[in-house]
Amino acid sequence: MSSILITGAGRGIGAALAAVLEERGHDVIRGVRKPGSTGAGKQIALDVSDRASIERAAAALEGQKLDIVINNAGIFGYRGAGLGHIDDAVWHDVMTTNVMGAYRVAEAFLPHLRAGSERKLVTITSRMGSMGANTTGGEYIYRSSKAAVNAVMRSLAMDLAPEGFIVTLLHPGWVQTDMGGPGAAIDTATSATGLADVILGASHAQSGGFFNYDGTPLVW
Ligand code: NDP
C-alpha cells in the first residue's frame, strides 16, 4: 500500500486517478482548491498557483511519509492562443500553475517523499508540449507550459537520481474532461487505469522519461 498525494484531484483526470488508486488499496490524499466542495476521499487544501498554499499543505502533512506525489493540476488558458491572439495575463497564469506550481509542489513535498519508500514524482503533462509531435502549430500558451514543465522535471530526474528518485512525465491521452471536452478520444476511467498501471509499475529505468498513459515512450 502506497501513500499518494494527487494535485487537482477534485474533478477530471485527477479525481478518476484518485478513485482508481483507492480501489487498488492505496492511501490517497486529494489536493483540492476548496476541500469539502467537491468529490470524496481524504482531501487537503492545495492551490498550486499559490506558493503559500503549497507550503501550508506541506506543513499540514509534516512528518507524514508520501511514496508518490502526482502533479496533475493544470489549466489550458483558452483555445485558439495563436499568432496575434495572445493574452499576456493568461499566459502568466498558465505558466504559474502548470510549470511553477508543479516545481513548487515537488520542492515542498521532497521531505515527505524522502521519508517514503518509493520516491516517485509524477507529472501529468501533455503531448502538446512535445516538439517532435508538434505538426500543427498554434496554442502557444498551453504548449509552452507543458514543454517547460517537461524540462523542469527532466532536470529534477537527474538532480534527484543520486537519492533514488523516479521522476516521470505522463501524457494522459485526449480525455473527456472539462479541459478535453466531450468529443475527446477516451474517458477518464480508461486514462486513469492506464496512468495508475504506469505509475505503480515505474522503475528507475523509466526515470527522466516521457510516456503515454499506456506506457508507450513519447518523443520530446
Ligand atoms: P480539468 O480542467 O477537467 O481539471 C483540472 C483540475 O486541475 C481540476 O481539479 C482543477 O481544480 C485543478 N486545478 C486547476 N488549477 C489549479 C490550481 N491552481 N491549484 C490546484 N488545482 C488546480 O482538466 P483535466 O482533468 O483534463 O486535466 C488534468 C491534467 O491533465 C492537466 O495537467 C492537463 O493539462 C492534463 N492533460 C489533459 C488532457 C485532456 O485531454 N483532458 C490532455 C493532456 C493533458 P478546480 O476544480 O479547483 O478548478
What pLDDT is recorded for position 57? 98
Q: What does the mean pLDDT of the chain come to?
A: 97
For the segment 64-80, the average pLDDT, to the nearest whole number, is 98
Alpha carbon 145 to its chain centroid, in Å, reads 12
Read off the pLDDT of each residue in 85-98 and give the average, rounded to a whole number. 98
Residue 39 pLDDT grade (very low, low, confident, very high; cuts 50, 70, 90): low
Return the residue whose CA atom lies nearest to atom 10 of ligand 1: 8
Instruction: Please check the confidence at residue 86 and state whether its pLDDT lies above 70.
Output: yes
Is there an atom of ligand 1 within 6 Å of 72 CB? yes
Residue-level pLDDT at 40: 79
pLDDT digits (tens, 9 = 90+) for 163-208: 999 999 999 999 999 999 999 999 999 999 999 999 999 999 999 9
Average pLDDT over residues 61-86: 98
Share of the chain above pLDDT 70, in %: 99
Vertex 63 angle, CA 58 and 9, to 5°: 40
140 lines ligand 1 (CB under 6 A): no
Q: Write down the pLDDT at residue 180.
A: 98
Asked whether 80 and 57 are in contact (CB, 8 A), the reply is no
pLDDT band at 130 (very low <50, low <70, confident <90, very high): very high
User: Which atom from ligand 1 is nearest to the alpha carbon of 127?
Assistant: 43
Is pLDDT of 38 > 80? Answer: no
Cell of residue 41, nine digits: 476521499
Nearest atom (ligand 1) to Cα of 15: 9
Query: How would DSSP label each residue in 50-67?
Result: -HHHHHHHHHHTTT---S
Q: Is 45 in the pocket of ligand 1 (CB under 6 A)?
A: no
The predicted model gives 114-135 an average pLDDT of: 98
Cα of 128 from ligand 1 centre, angstroms:
14
Instruction: Name the nearest CA neighbour of 161 among 210, 117, 206.
Output: 206
7 close to ligand 1 (CB < 6 Angstrom): yes
